[in-house]
Structure 1
Amino acid sequence: MAFLDEPTRRSLLRAAAFGTVMAGAGPVLAQAARRAPSAPAPLGTLGLEASRFGLTPGSAEDQSGVLRRALEEAMAREAPLLVAPGRYRIAEVVLPEGARLIGVPGATRFVAARAAPLLLARRIRRATLVGLTLDGLDMRRDGRAGLVEANEVAEFTVSDCEFANAGSVGLTLQRSGGRIERCRFRGMRDSALFSLDSRGLAIEGNTVEDCGNNGIQLWRSEAGDEQSLVRGNRVNRIRNDAGGDGPNGNGISLFRAGGVIIEGNTLRDCALTFIRNNSGSGVQILGNQGRRCGEVALYSEFAFEGAIIANNLVEECAQGANITNLDHGGRLSVFANNIVRMARKGLAPKGKEIIGGMGVHVEAEAAVTGNVIEDASDVGISLGWSWGMRNLVATGNVIRRTGIGVSVSLVPKQRNALIANNLISDASLGAVVGTEYGKPVTGDLTRASDPRAAGVRVENNAVG
């Protein structure tokens, strides 16, 4: 077979690299050509090549102005701007309305010309970034400044991009919506992605690695329903360089963000928590997998109502799950069909207290059902704490090799709990035990009732 000559091969490779945009670009370019037949035609059929405007790969100069003018010309022609492989120094390039900036994944590299965002989008309807590498060169920046920042952008799409060596955050969004998909974030001093007051984001299929404080963060200035999706991401090696007992060290972090679905993510080696929901109502945490975290694997806390945590598998953590803080409004949850293994008591990260040892702890209108909890060093299932002891159910669970199988709080005196149809095996300190602030005060309630446990029904459990 004859080999293709070099120009032909380059043409085919370019077409393959940009083939994903042909369907969207073709009709737009054709429409633009009909309106302005005297304008130079886009190169190929894909868009305008930035090199025609003077953008030069490998140049030591700051090419921000050149890139800005090229984007403006491309948008005037309603065409994508194509950037060839190479290294380009830029800073604070503002994306115009409808900008579509497209590179070759892994080969088109924008690097920071100074300690500033590389690209900015402000108060526009839409913008798209595809196939770019954005490198902050680890230039330290304050607050949650991003390598790319979007503010009040209704539809911001970032796909097949790489964010590296951010002096703070990789991608920062405020009051914006859109899709962040198939991107890679690595070497962030703070977090990979920080969103404030989202208009609804789909964050799917991304890889997040080696972040100083958090992986993916969805926060709101006030509690609200934002309908974001966090699905199918890989999150690895999240530290808590800034310390604290919750704001940092989380793979996926929600604060006041309601109506969020977190599904099918895999997480490894998070300093504190795989997934933390603080004060987000109507949140679902479904089918995620985590291994090795230093505090609680799955957390729903403070002013939330209506959390569903189901079908997850978490291993090698201080505690499997915590659904807590009725005193701040935290209530109404389901913890179902999860597997929790090797929840072992240990020293808190950067702390002096011994924590953990529980499979799951719940408070206030909570159902714990159909779970398998194995090798929790202290307690398999913990029901209630002080005023959080209210309307709790533990049914149909399998609990193996633990201290206490099911711990049920006897504080306060008014309580309502059902512990039934569980299989509890090798619980060295008792299958079901009444406690006061964590201290056992009854014998095994599967063997004999105790008047101190009034309001707690214990029935039909298989104990071995």
Structure 2
Amino acid sequence: MTLSRRFVLTAGLLGAASLRLPAQAQPRASTPQPLGQLGLDATQFGLRPGANEDQSQRLQAALGEAAKRSAPLLLPPGRYRLGKVTLPDGARIIGVPGATRLVTADGGPILIARNLTRASLSGLALDGLDIPSPQRSALLEADTVGDIAISELAFANAGSVGLTLNRCGGRITASSFRKMRDAALFSLDSRGLTVEQNEVEDCGNNGIQIWRSEAGDDGSIVRGNRLARIRADAGGDGPNGNGISVYRAGGVIIQGNQLRDCAMTFIRNNSGSGVQILGNQGRRCGEVGLYSEFAFEGAIMANNLIEDCAAGASITNLDYGGRLAVFASNIIRNARRAVAPNGKSPIGGFGIHVEAEAAVTGNVIENASEIGISLGWSWGMRNLAATGNIVRKAGIGVSVSLVPKERNALIANNVIAEARNGAVVGTEYGKPVTGDLTKAPDARAAGVRVENNAVS
């Protein structure tokens, strides 16, 4: 059939006229209709923006119908009181960023995703109204979701945690977490999670937590996030007060994050093997800026900038199997001995501390009140190298533990300036026992090679 120009124009005019028919002449749908090609409008199921009553059942029905049709559910701007709404498989909710607000109806979770292949949420604000809730209860709880996609969500005033993810994979991006009583995000036994370009502020104990119930490969990526003002309300000497916390999770990459004002540590890796901490920036923390501790093997810390902490970085706990590390091309400034939050006596004052099978190379350390580079502690000292570093303004430039009977360490080609108590000094249990080893050898430092260092 050949369509004439007149036919096309006539059809167009008729179509336009049909759009101007009076409301009573329009056919009425007996079932909720899609809103164009975008999805189903949740108000067709009785949801009313701004209503005071709990609208959980209405949202549950709307989600069920949208899932049957494999269609997104659109939530218009407004405030909705909700509690424990369960997402069906394939659920996709789309709101208006900054305008679609879901408020807890009873202080518990607002949304729950459990045993799903996939789910997607965007443009929503979840508000817990600062009602205290049990530990690790969250505004959004996800359990065993193969692929969860969260973008442009705003979590606020959580009574415990903003978002919990248990055995989940997927992406958490471009979202904000503000005023959490405990933590912003808690992931347990991840199946490959990406946490990227989020903002985290004012958390009671931790920012982003990537944990495993048993040590193993996790593969999460934490990249390009901004975190500020992380407290340690629950106390302790390490579990709380951390911007980014990794526990038993191996193969995690933590890259390009901005961290400010953490009570204890910017980034803490406890027993995670093969963890890389790359290109992060941290300013002002109460303990050690970067930590890799306890039963880890294989840690890389490179290209980080750490300022104004009790200590810059620590790669430690050979007694628990902590070993094998590279600390390279970092800048550490203003590491000053101080009393950590909840502490009783001063700690720190060093730029970097390492213990076993570790290379410290190409770093710049300035203004370390006690020690620029600390190699070993007590008997925890084995196969260490400090080469090509610049240390300026420190008590001791490089200290090396002489407690173990057999030692193997290389301290070479470093530039050390304005070290008040010696450029390279042997210590026992933290106390100097030799003179400056760049000026004269000492038989007590057998097994430690000190060569070609520039000292001024």
Instruction: Give TM-score scaled by structure 1 length.
Output: 0.91
| Match in the other structure for 2:349 | 357
Q: Is the 8 A contact 1:327 1:387 kept in 2?
A: no
* Distance (Å, rounded) in 2 between the aligned partners of 1:255 and 1:165: 25
1:322 aligned onto 2:329: no
Question: Which of 434, 438, 455 lines up with 2:430 in the alignment?
Answer: 438
| Match in the other structure for 2:69 | 77
Percent of pairs with identical residues: 72
Q: Secondary structure at the match of 1:244?
A: coil
| Match in the other structure for 1:162 | 154
Cα deviation digits, residues 380-402 of structure 1 (max 9, x gap): 00001123210000000000001
* Distance (Å, rounded) in 1 between the aligned partners of 2:130 and 2:218: 32
| Match in the other structure for 2:400 | 408
Q: Is the 8 A contact 1:318 1:344 kept in 2?
A: yes
Q: Which amino acid aligns with 1:203?
A: V
Cα deviation digits, residues 266-298 of structure 1 (max 9, x gap): 000000000000000000000000000000000
* Distance (Å, rounded) in 2 between the aligned partners of 1:39 and 1:83: 18
Q: Which amino acid aligns with 1:423?
A: V
| Match in the other structure for 1:50 | 42
Q: Secondary structure at the match of 2:423?
A: strand
* Distance (Å, rounded) in 2 between the aligned partners of 1:326 and 1:347: 24
| Match in the other structure for 1:104 | 96
Cα deviation digits, residues 20-71 of structure 1 (max 9, x gap): xxxxxxxxxxxxxxxxx99764112100110111110000000000000000
| Match in the other structure for 1:458 | 450
1:119 aligned onto 2:102: no
Question: Which of 415, 421, 437 lines up with 1:429 in the alignment?
Answer: 421
* Distance (Å, rounded) in 1 between the aligned partners of 2:199 and 2:113: 23
| Match in the other structure for 2:295 | 303
| Match in the other structure for 1:382 | 374
Residue 94 of structure 1 and its aligned partner are, at CA, apart by 0.1
| Match in the other structure for 1:251 | 243
In the TM superposition, structure 1's runs of 4+ consecutive aligned residues that sit over 2 Å from their partners are 37-41
* Distance (Å, rounded) in 1 between the aligned partners of 2:59 and 2:120: 15
| Match in the other structure for 1:340 | 332
Q: Is the 8 A contact 2:379 2:401 kept in 1?
A: no
Residue 120 of structure 1 and its aligned partner are, at CA, apart by 0.2
Q: Secondary structure at the match of 1:67?
A: helix
Q: Which amino acid aligns with 1:59?
A: A
1:7-406 aligned within 5 A: 41-406=33-398
Residue 142 of structure 1 and its aligned partner are, at CA, apart by 1.1
Q: Which amino acid aligns with 2:50?
A: G
Cα deviation digits, residues 191-220 of structure 1 (max 9, x gap): 000011111100000000000000000110
* Distance (Å, rounded) in 1 between the aligned partners of 2:279 and 2:371: 23
* Distance (Å, rounded) in 1 between the aligned partners of 2:353 and 2:65: 58
Q: Is the 8 A contact 2:361 2:387 kept in 1?
A: yes
* Distance (Å, rounded) in 2 between the aligned partners of 1:294 and 1:60: 44
Q: Is the 8 A contact 1:345 1:377 kept in 2?
A: yes
Q: Secondary structure at the match of 2:391?
A: strand
Q: Which amino acid aligns with 2:64?
A: E
Question: Which of 389, 414, 419 lines up with 2:411 in the alignment?
Answer: 419
Q: Which amino acid aligns with 1:218?
A: I
Q: Which amino acid aligns with 1:356?
A: G
Residue 437 of structure 1 and its aligned partner are, at CA, apart by 0.7
Q: Highest Rg: 1 or 2? A: 2
Q: Is the 8 A contact 2:185 2:209 kept in 1?
A: yes
| Match in the other structure for 2:5 | none
Deviates more, 1:350-359 or 1:40-49: 40-49
* Distance (Å, rounded) in 2 between the aligned partners of 1:280 and 1:348: 24
Q: Secondary structure at the match of 2:89?
A: coil
Residue 351 of structure 1 and its aligned partner are, at CA, apart by 1.5
Unaligned runs of 5+ in 2: 1-28
| Match in the other structure for 1:3 | none
* Distance (Å, rounded) in 2 between the aligned partners of 1:146 and 1:218: 15
* Distance (Å, rounded) in 1 between the aligned partners of 2:32 and 2:239: 53
Q: Which amino acid aligns with 1:92?
A: K
* Distance (Å, rounded) in 1 between the aligned partners of 2:394 and 2:437: 16
RMSD: 1.0
Q: Secondary structure at the match of 1:199?
A: coil
Aligned pairs, how many?
A: 428
* Distance (Å, rounded) in 1 between the aligned partners of 2:87 and 2:33: 22
Q: Which amino acid aligns with 2:92?
A: R
* Distance (Å, rounded) in 1 between the aligned partners of 2:396 and 2:381: 18
